Amino acid sequence: FPMAAADPQVLALAAQITESREQDIPLLLLKLKGILSSPFLGCEESNKIKQDIYDYGLTQYCLLVLKQDHSQLHGAWATAAQLAEILSHCCVGLEVKEDPEEFYKKFLPSAIDSLLVLGKRLQARFIRAIKEKEKQDFLHWFQIVTDAICWLFGGHIQLAACVLQNDRFLQLLITDDVETAIIMMSVLHNILRINSSVLLQVEEETLHSVLDELVYKLSSTTNPAVGSAATKLLLLVAKFCKQLVQLFTARYKGLKGLLSKQWTGKGFDREVNQLLDLLYLEQSSGKGGMQKQHQAASIIQAAWRGFQTRKRLKKLPQAVITLQRSFRAKREQELQHLTKQKEDEALKLQMQLQRQRAMRLFHERQLALLEVVHASRVNKYMQEMEEKSALTIQRFWRGYRARRIFHQQKQSLKEYKAAVIIQRAACKFLEKRRRRRPLSPWKEPKGLSDEQRLALQQKVDDYIKLHPASQMSEEMSKELHMQAQAKLAQFLLRSRLDQRAAQRREALLAQVNTDVELLMNAPGLAEITEKDLGAFMSRSIPVATKARQTHNTMLKYTRWPWWKKLGDEFIQDDVIPDDAINTELETLFIQGRK
């Protein structure tokens, strides 16, 4: 904060904002309007208060609030519009002596950009509003923001070019809404009135965009208010910038006819006549130069047409050759197409004749067989022939369908198997590398400085004061510890008993499955022997069967081809994949279903 004596109201407001929550700051900043509009302030006192407001950072607070989401503020758009007005009044008349470049080069352009963004949002909501009350409110707030912009660049003339070069100003100007368009044209009128040469300082593209929009409004609307505002602006531009009159006559050739036919007798004939006089005067003064330019253009066009004709005549033989080549190629294609069509028709006719001949031979063979076969067996013979024919057709159809399905699934099945092998190898490699990864070395934390230690200790003390810990006696702590130990012992005992019960269930299930398999594979009662009876009485036979199948599984795994063991180089040699063993061991219990 500054050391010089400051206004007590500004000082109290700055202290209150510093201690307040973020959502309450916009409402507190509205108090600046009452401080600035006090009737007892003179010019020097007002400037001194503005200097104090800027030194205490309240102006920067206003700008930061305007950059936030205005719909979340208390008072929403009304608060944002009032803060825009307060910001413009705080900046006008302020002379910053310390670091003026920061104020004039960065702060003021940022303020202009924030105000234009706020104006663009208000304009969009005004256009979308349906209720008349909402439209009037948004239009009132939009007028306040545009007045704040005019007040700001009126106090700082260099901001006029900044406003005109801003893309959002052109977006605000380019609108079909009558009320906001008139307000934005009044802002442009104030810019030209304050700095008449600003149009010569901006880029040519910006200048053309502004003038194009003004001429478009004259040609696209019949509203007298819009036409009057656009005409007055064009007249003001023509009076202040004589160089732009030539641009009017050259770029907008139909402007004179538009003004004289459409806007004469609309209530602003004096401005229309003045603008027409300036345009006709410029046209008469530049008529001789235009005639010379037309003659020069005619000579250039004649020379260019002659050059183009001579060039076309030189290329004519080549063009004829190209045309003949394309004609011969097209005729050859048509002949080939006709030849192929005739061959297809001949093949179709030949196939039809072969079918007829085969059908005739088939009927002749049937008649010959009917003569040989006895009459009582004809129906049976015909039924057998129909069944054989149906089986033949079904066999061919199933074979065709199976081959088609196989060809469709062959590539996808190959890709799926390859993806599974690659994924398995990658997962095993990553798991092995994760196991071998060394632990990161211990890094000693950086020490705290004395100031940081004091600040941290102060935070800890404040937190302890705000959140006092509950006191517990030693006897209560011991009792709580004993209860926790007892519950832990009960949990461990219960988990141990559950584990033993699960092991017994698994063993009993394996025994039941083995007995089921033995019963399913056992011979009938008429064929049973004492040896078969011993298989049910002995408990070692299931164990031996399981050991034998495990041994066979391991032998089969060692004989696998290399492509089945692609990812197994990351596994120890004595480890067999669980899925390979489980695939074989499943037959011990569910062989009867396979």
Min mean pLDDT across 330-334, 370-374, 538-542, 559-563 is at 538-542
Min mean pLDDT across 63-72, 390-399, 436-445, 579-588 is at 579-588
Helix (H) or strand (E) holding 477: helix 474-521
Residue 586 has pLDDT above 50, yes or no: no
| Phi-psi region at 202: left, alpha or beta (left = phi > 0; alpha = psi -120 to 50) | beta
Q: What does the pLDDT look like over 473-530, one tens digit per residue?
A: 788 888 888 999 999 999 999 999 999 999 889 888 877 887 777 777 777 777 777 7
Instruction: Give the residue from 210, 226, 103 showing the smallest Cα distance to 164.
Output: 210
Instruction: Give the residue from 129, 9, 115, 2 showing the smallest Cα distance to 67.
Output: 115
Overall size of the chain counted in residues: 594
> Where does the pLDDT of residue 587 fall: very low under 50, low under 70, confident under 90, or very high at 90 and above?
very low
**Exposed e or buried b for every residue in 282-311, given b needs 16+ CB within 10 A?**
bbeeeeeeeeeeeeeeeeeeeeeeeeeeee
pLDDT at 333: 93
pLDDT at 584: 43
pLDDT at 490: 92
Give residues with Cβ within 8 angstroms of 16, minimum separation 6: 28
The one-letter code for the residue type at 523 is P
The one-letter code for the residue type at 450 is D
% pLDDT > 70, the chain: 86
pLDDT at 593: 35
Give residues with Cβ within 8 angstroms of 405, minimum separation 6: none
pLDDT averaged over every residue in the chain: 79
Q: What whole-number distance in Å separates Cα of residue 325 and Cα of residue 20?
A: 88
Residue 567 has pLDDT above 60, yes or no: no
Min mean pLDDT across 106-115, 298-307, 442-451 is at 442-451
In contact, 80 and 118? CB cutoff 8 Å = yes
pLDDT at 286: 53
What one-character-per-residue DSSP string does 188-220 give? HHHHHHH-TTHHHHS-HHHHHHHHHHHHHHHHH
Name the range with the highest mean pLDDT among 198-212, 348-362, 401-415: 348-362
Helix (H) or strand (E) holding 441: none
> Where does the pLDDT of residue 75 fall: very low under 50, low under 70, confident under 90, or very high at 90 and above?
low
pLDDT at 373: 72
pLDDT at 5: 60
pLDDT at 569: 47
Q: What whole-number distance in Å separates Cα of residue 569 and Cα of residue 548?
A: 27
pLDDT at 394: 93
pLDDT at 430: 92
pLDDT at 1: 40
pLDDT at 444: 59
Instruction: Give the residue from 230, 215, 82, 108 showing the smallest Cα distance to 160.
Output: 108
> Where does the pLDDT of residue 398 fall: very low under 50, low under 70, confident under 90, or very high at 90 and above?
very high
pTM, full prediction:
0.46
Name the range with the highest mean pLDDT among 35-49, 96-110, 319-333, 549-563: 319-333
Q: What does the pLDDT look like over 19-65, one tens digit per residue?
A: 777 777 777 777 777 777 765 666 777 777 777 777 777 777 777 77
Q: What six digits make up the tokens of 413? A: 């099945």
Taking residues 370-376, report their average pLDDT.
75
Q: What whole-number distance in Å separates Cα of residue 564 and Cα of residue 579?
A: 13
pLDDT at 498: 93
Residue 426 has pLDDT above 80, yes or no: yes
pLDDT at 74: 67
Name the range with the highest mean pLDDT among 208-217, 540-549, 585-594: 208-217
In contact, 113 and 166? CB cutoff 8 Å = yes
> Where does the pLDDT of residue 535 fall: very low under 50, low under 70, confident under 90, or very high at 90 and above?
low
* Cα 71 versus chain centre, distance: 24
- Does 342 or 131 have the greater pLDDT score? 342
% pLDDT > 90, the chain: 14
Task: Name all contacts of 105-110 with Cβ < 8 Å and 24+ positions apart.
Answer: 107/59, 107/60, 107/63, 108/152, 108/156, 108/159, 108/162, 109/159, 109/162, 110/63
Min mean pLDDT across 157-171, 226-240, 285-299, 538-552 is at 285-299
- Does 290 or 79 have the greater pLDDT score? 79
pLDDT at 580: 46
Instruction: Give the residue from 105, 66, 63, 91 showing the smallest Cα distance to 151.
Output: 91
Name the range with the highest mean pLDDT among 252-261, 325-334, 584-593: 325-334
Residue 404 has pLDDT above 70, yes or no: yes
Taking residues 121-131, report their average pLDDT.
84
Residue 18 has pLDDT above 80, yes or no: no
Residue 220 has pLDDT above 70, yes or no: yes
Residue 314 has pLDDT above 80, yes or no: yes
- DSSP-derived letter for residue 440 is P
* End-to-end C-alpha distance for the chain, whole angstroms: 89
- Does 105 or 572 have the greater pLDDT score? 105
- Does 77 or 441 have the greater pLDDT score? 77
Q: How far is CA 531 from CA 137, 288, 375, 521, 543, in A?
A: 104, 132, 62, 14, 17
Q: What does the pLDDT look like over 427-483, one tens digit per residue?
A: 999 999 888 866 555 555 567 788 888 998 999 888 888 887 667 778 888 888 899
Taking residues 102-116, report their average pLDDT.
82
Helix (H) or strand (E) holding 374: none
Taking residues 169-178, report their average pLDDT.
82
pLDDT at 590: 34
> Where does the pLDDT of residue 572 fall: very low under 50, low under 70, confident under 90, or very high at 90 and above?
very low
